[in-house]
Structure 1
């Protein structure tokens, strides 16, 4: 690696570091060699260094401007200011700039041989600005386009399939700029998200770097949602008085109401934060929270993404997250300094039904997307209702990562309070579930999801031809007399034992997770 001496020198000079975290050097070497990469590192794992350090190096195969596609203005501003403090030449376009500031950025991007090292931009600006397209072509023609970086890469799928069409436009990067390396970074990605990301970006054959997503310093707990505001206040006062935290709420109105109540009724230093606030108010709330003048931010889900505040001691979910991926992302904003932090989720079945109604009433989603979103919220409900299995094991299984609950070390409520657990032989039901799965897939002729398998087991009849054909089968509804949470746990245990395997397959525009039967077992018990 001819570039290693420069990389090591600038690591120390610019970033004041003397060593790399796991996989950082491999990722940096990959992009400096002109190769594509997908990087999955847990929050706080050092993703930003993977592109910021090579951006200031001259010894790579491609060199010049590193274009970073960033989802949120607040995240962009945060990173730009941090880089400027380190003396890195960085520029960005944003909607708050006046004409003079924008013109200055444009002139810098046209200054051959003197362009900024890093250029931040939103996917919308990339898609809709003809000026940006011309500038990128000029930079490429001058052989000064080093790489494209997609920060928070999971949003290409998560937001691209939901409400930010510009993310799907990123497929143009490989088509319009062949030979320019692409790097996508994220703290979370299921197998199907990873496969969709690689397919959309057209970077098959890319290097994939993955770390365990376990955050051992985080404590996970689910609590019943009763008198939630009072419960939150009691928790903060008992465990984190005068410490920094985030409370996530579903709606903008809830954010404002909860923050106001915390201030006026309980005397806590709280501010709200959501997308419809005036920019000056958002900046003020963020600045006061980061400086410690405000201890609590009550926010919608986008807040905190990429914001480098290491001392967040708790993350509370006032309302249900959309899916387990969102839950992991949002809890991951706690304890980035490696010190203990608490993650509390308040749950009620009423919230689940509310979310399902919102999904079904959404006229902007097709039936396939609605089904996907409803399956995701039901998976969250199952996680909340499962008061036996290790929370870590459950969350990491969502990402196809096996985790030994003995390693949790009482880091979740289920591991700390195992009282009331009784051992039960569930062999008969396990065999029925396996047999039903074999019938449903019929030697690979059909595909089924985990939720579809369980619905057949419970005897739920759907509108599909397959459901109608199955209603007369002896196994249809064979699990309806057992509590649903128990059959869900048996199915998940079969997966963890390797009897079921989850695989991804493209279904229309996006991939979906399907279930495959691998082999049978003779006898086991579920505690």
Structure 2
């Protein structure tokens, strides 16, 4: 048994000391310490923390400091394997039970659990709730105790979430069977509606709630026009060739994935396809090669996603339109999980709208179609928006953001600003005169004096606002309407019908107490990629040598390179160049186990580099 497994809270003078011992970090990220403290008090918790915020540590550290077994519910085999591998590499007793194991191997792991060698057990919800597993956990509780349940990807419990899974609804049985065992629900994305659904569906009792900012400041967001497939591919290839590191390219169809992967290969880019049409073996092989840095680019449908725990993805490109803002946030958020700069590009062409509309039409349920069409309108609004990209994204999750983020295309390359207060007054007045019962397209039809059936049936051709906006195109009015929505100056219902409603800020504009300034887009131009890293050339040479060493060590152990050390830790090594084990131990990400396992090899590489440079 690893000495780490014998750790108890009394061994450490502070939580920070335990953090350094197990995981190699000197300080907690924002919110982590308070979450760990609540877990040690055996409180239920709902944790909403964006990708890269350090959710896993919030239940892993308490599991190591509390007596008994912590059970982690995880939806995908790849996800649980990655986390277990990383924990084991830190000398922590962790394992998983799933359908990929031979019965004898599963039995061996159960014996290790009962012998107290395991602190964290990862299970899929289906496995956890089957008729054999729950009695086994009952026995574990009587013999060792159950420290808590951690439910990862908890948004799957809600049909309002972007990845609803019916089996997650059954997890409320945990509360019935183990009423005194705390439950921590964790997710990277959840609107207020989804958060409430998680609490109700899992029967969380007076939970400690932590909702971190959804802002990912290290990600650069941009939208590029897609005038033609040929031009779009040319820009995509240029971006891939100019960007170091791994990347993911998302497409809507399997055919597009195969075509794009083949084209990139022909142009000398190491790329592989990933979609549901491939065999299980082919998908697993391609994913493993990508995670272990054997290839640089994965071209994929959304089948490739939630189970990907690769922290050093440097770019995510959406070659086609995503289905919702929440999906886009989740998928683009797979870039830069290590906190280092990363690039998120969305290519937008009007043809994509038709493709998504076709997919929506294939849905059988009318309500599902209604919600999907509203989500499509929101994505188009994001793509065509003229304000800070973060303002639009974060407002979707109910988080205010002042704009001017300094790390999106609109903020770095601002467009001309015009005062459209009078137009805003016309628009809002029309909403009021239509009794706040209609959506944006109808308001625009009334303003522009349309004679369509819906306008005439409602007698809206008799309103004082009818035809007062003929001087502007429908597209111009849509720019205005989206600006009002994105700046919180008007509201829109979220039940699928997208009805516009006035709020207090709307009336301030109508009463001339507030003005509206909006960016009016010219023909977009996009700057060349810039080096946002500021990484010195001489340090870069050592960094690449350390990456090569990491890859060799990872291949010897058949694990992904980031399990050995993250890019962030390697950069610190390249910058600080520790030459002794004592110095190496101070690097963030170097815990007790990794110091023992890798310290000599990495310090030897650093000393060799310094000697070659004449810096000894």
Check 1:305–1:477 CA distance in 2 against 1; reply closer, same or farther (3 A cut). Answer: farther
Check 1:477–1:214 CA distance in 2 against 1; reply closer, same or farther (3 A cut). Answer: farther
2:413 corresponds, among 417, 424, 429, to: 417
- Write the mapping of 1:10-89 to structure 2, written as runs, cut at 5 A: 10-58=18-66, 63-89=67-93
Contact between 2:395 and 2:401, CA under 8 Å: does it hold in 1? Answer: yes
Match of 2:387 in 1: 389
1:279, CA displacement in angstroms? 4.2
1:392, CA displacement in angstroms? 1.6
Per-residue CA distance 1:115-169 (angstroms, 9 max, x = gap): 6211111223334x21122223333455712222121222323687866321222
Contact between 1:470 and 1:476, CA under 8 Å: does it hold in 2? Answer: no
Does structure 1 residue 375 correspond to structure 2 residue 374? Answer: yes
1:15, CA displacement in angstroms? 0.8
Cα distance in 1, alignment partners of residues 236 and 122 from structure 2:
37
Contact between 2:417 and 2:517, CA under 8 Å: does it hold in 1? Answer: no
Structure 2 residue ranges without an equivalent (≥5): 1-8, 519-616
Number of paired residues?
494
Check 1:244–1:458 CA distance in 2 against 1; reply closer, same or farther (3 A cut). Answer: same
TM-score by length of 2: 0.72
- Write the mapping of 1:267-278 to structure 2, written as runs, cut at 5 A: 267-278=268-279
Contact between 1:457 and 1:477, CA under 8 Å: does it hold in 2? Answer: no
- Write the mapping of 1:430-449 to structure 2, written as runs, cut at 5 A: 430=425, 432-433=427-428, 436=431, 440=435
Deviates more, 1:205-214 or 1:370-379: 205-214
Cα distance in 1, alignment partners of residues 163 and 339 from structure 2:
33
Cα distance in 1, alignment partners of residues 184 and 427 from structure 2:
45
Cα distance in 2, alignment partners of residues 495 and 161 from structure 1:
22
Cα distance in 2, alignment partners of residues 498 and 345 from structure 1:
24
TM-score by length of 1: 0.83
Cα distance in 2, alignment partners of residues 453 and 247 from structure 1:
34
1:291, CA displacement in angstroms? 3.1
- Write the mapping of 1:511-526 to structure 2, written as runs, cut at 5 A: 517-518=503-504, 520-521=507-508, 522-523=511-512, 524-526=515-517
Match of 1:253 in 2: 255
Per-residue CA distance 1:438-461 (angstroms, 9 max, x = gap): 8646xxxxxx7xxx5324424599
Structure index of larger Rg: 2
Per-residue CA distance 1:185-234 (angstroms, 9 max, x = gap): 22222222222222222226322112222222221111122223333112
Cα distance in 2, alignment partners of residues 69 and 470 from structure 1:
56
SS in 1 for 2:180: coil
Match of 1:101 in 2: 105
1:431, CA displacement in angstroms? 5.4
Check 1:490–1:153 CA distance in 2 against 1; reply closer, same or farther (3 A cut). Answer: farther
SS in 2 for 1:301: coil
1:272, CA displacement in angstroms? 1.6
Contact between 2:155 and 2:164, CA under 8 Å: does it hold in 1? Answer: no
Cα distance in 2, alignment partners of residues 475 and 374 from structure 1:
31
Match of 2:348 in 1: 347
Contact between 1:432 and 1:475, CA under 8 Å: does it hold in 2? Answer: no
Cα distance in 1, alignment partners of residues 84 and 93 from structure 2:
9
Per-residue CA distance 1:243-291 (angstroms, 9 max, x = gap): 321111223333233212211x212101122345444433432333233
SS in 2 for 1:44: coil
Cα distance in 1, alignment partners of residues 340 and 178 from structure 2:
43
Match of 2:443 in 1: 457
Contact between 2:154 and 2:186, CA under 8 Å: does it hold in 1? Answer: yes
1:294, CA displacement in angstroms? 0.6
Check 1:132–1:79 CA distance in 2 against 1; reply closer, same or farther (3 A cut). Answer: same
Per-residue CA distance 1:377-418 (angstroms, 9 max, x = gap): 1111111122x2111211111112222222x22x22222333
Match of 1:444 in 2: none
What is the root-mean-square deviation in Å for CA atoms of aligned residues? 3.4
Match of 1:404 in 2: 402
Cα distance in 1, alignment partners of residues 184 and 473 from structure 2:
45
